Amino acid sequence: MNENNDVFTKEEREEARRDEMRELLMNAFDGTSLLYEIYKKRGWLDKILTDKILSMDKDALYLSSQVADICETHDYVIKNKRRELLEYINPTQMGEGNSKIYKHNYISVFKLKMIHGLTGEGSEFTLPQLKEIIYGNITKSTTEQKQDAGNDMMFQMMKKMEQFDKFYDMVQSGEFFNEIDKRAQESARRLMLEGTKDDEVKEKVLEIYEKIISPDTDLTEKETFLALFNDLENEYPGQAYTIKMYKNASEDRINRFRQDEREMYIRKVKETISDLLDDYESAKSENERNLIRDKLQKIGRDNPDLSFEIRYWFSTIGKEKKKKGFFGRIFS
C-alpha cells in the first residue's frame, strides 16, 4: 500500500479513480440505456462524462443538493425531474412523510445527469417526450387503457432483447435513432394537436405562464397564478401533460424568483447592519447609541433564520472597530 503511494502521484491516483468510474458507467449504460445511446450516437459523451461525474465515489450515497452540484444545476431542478422520472432514477428512499429524503448512488446521479442534459429550456426534448422514450408510452396513469402496441414497441423490444449484437446492428443502421426521432416528433405533435381543445388550452397556459414570468408580478401574485394550472387540469383532463409541462416550467421560474428575492433581501439586511454600525460609531450620545442597539436587536428578532449570518456580518463589518463587547450586549 505504502509502496504504491510512493510510486504514483496524487494526480495519477485521481486519474485512476476517474478511469474506474468511467468504466463502471460505460459497463452499466453502454448498450443498455436509450438515453446513453442518444449521447453516444451524437458525439455528446463529453457532456455527461464530466470531471464531477467521474470524480464520484462508487460507494457513496448523495443528497439532492450534492447531486445538483455534480450535475451542475439547481437543487429544485433535480427534485422536479426526479419527481417526474422517479421509477427510472430509482433513488434510495429514507424516512416517511415530511421527513422523507432521497439518496442517490452513482447510477442514479448519472441518470439525472443524462436527463438534465436532454431536457429544459433550449434542450431537444421535453420531460413528457423523454418519458415516452424511456417507458414507451407518454402517460403512466393507472386509469389508462392498454398501451398502444406501437407506443410500447421500442421499450419492450429493448427490455426483452437478449443479445447485444441485435441492438448494435440497430444502432449502426440508424434504425434505432430514426425510431427515437420519430417518437419525439409524434409526441410533440400530440402534445400540440391532441383533441379539439388544444389551441384553447395552449392559449390559456401561455397567458398564465407569461404572467408568472413577468417582472410586473410579485411572488404572491405568481403563486396565485400557479394555482390556476390545477383548475385547468381539472377542466381539461385530456390535455393534462401539456398543462403539466407549463406548470413545471412555471414552478422552476417561481423558485428562481424566490431565490433571487431572498438574496436581495439578505443583501439589504447586511447593508442596513453596516449603516447602523457606522451610525453607532459616529453617535454623539449614549441615547443615540441605545436607539441603534434597539434597531440591531430588532433586526435579529425579525430574522431568526439569519441569526448566524447576522452575527457573522457583525463580527466581519465591525472587526476593525473592535466591537466585541457591544456585539455581546446586542445579541446576548
Write 31-34 long-range contacts (CB < 8 A, 24+). Answer: 31/164, 31/167, 31/168, 32/158, 33/114, 34/133, 34/134, 34/154, 34/158, 34/180
42-60 pLDDT, tens per residue? 888 999 999 999 999 999 9
218-270 pLDDT, tens per residue? 888 988 998 998 998 888 887 788 888 888 988 888 888 888 888 888 888 88
pTM over 0.75: no
Q: Which residues of the chain have a pLDDT value below 50? A: 1-3, 137-164, 320-325, 327-332
pLDDT value of residue 104: 95
Question: What is the largest distance, in Å, between two alpha-carbon atoms of the chain?
Answer: 87
The 3-state DSSP class for residue 92 equals strand
Rounded distance, CA 213 to CA 120, Å?
Answer: 16
pLDDT value of residue 131: 85
101, containing H or E segment: strand 101-103
| Torsion sign over Cα 314, 320, 321, 323 | positive
pLDDT value of residue 232: 87
pLDDT value of residue 140: 39
Residue 228 C-alpha from the chain's centroid: 23
Rounded distance, CA 131 to CA 115, Å?
Answer: 10
